[in-house]
Structure 1
């Protein structure tokens, strides 16, 4: 179980829990990878429900990298994510919310 006050989100991949977090380095890497716009545009897409599966994948990879994972997006293409695409999208949204929330605003349950 990750620490939500640190921005941690847990995602189970191939039967193993992985701690994800959007560190400053992970956010910089994510912003460099975005096809369209800035982090603000990405947040807006999630707030309006107009995000893409590519957005979800990039956020998951950035979060995993911020948590110490050394893989790439190609490593996730054949991976089994517990809860499927819905769980991945929820985890990506939680990563964004926790990265930009004040500590008192973080809900430890997600």
Structure 2
């Protein structure tokens, strides 16, 4: 099974997406978007920027390493979980690079 984007709509009416690896684990999460169109544009931006290593901001959070994926304009389009080690974080980045470009969309907002 390939990776997939899961688009959801929260109780507030805002939209959010996650990129899941083939094992079902969330490897990237978006911010909240006010419109579905903006969230879909965010997904396309992840697909477009995922393969560019320079788009990843490797960070140290209070509780461990994590990363952000940034668009060409420098805006964060997705963030990772906090990892237990830098090696795990780097493996997460590689997973985004591998999964995002071809990931299918699972739109849970279409009722």
TM-score interval, smaller chain? 0.3 to 0.5
Point out the structure with the larger strand share: 2
TM-score scaled to structure 1, two decimals? 0.37
TM-score scaled to structure 2, two decimals? 0.37
Give the number of the structure with larger relative contact order, counting CA–CA contacts within 8 Å between residues 6 or more apart.
1
Point out the structure with the larger helix share: 1
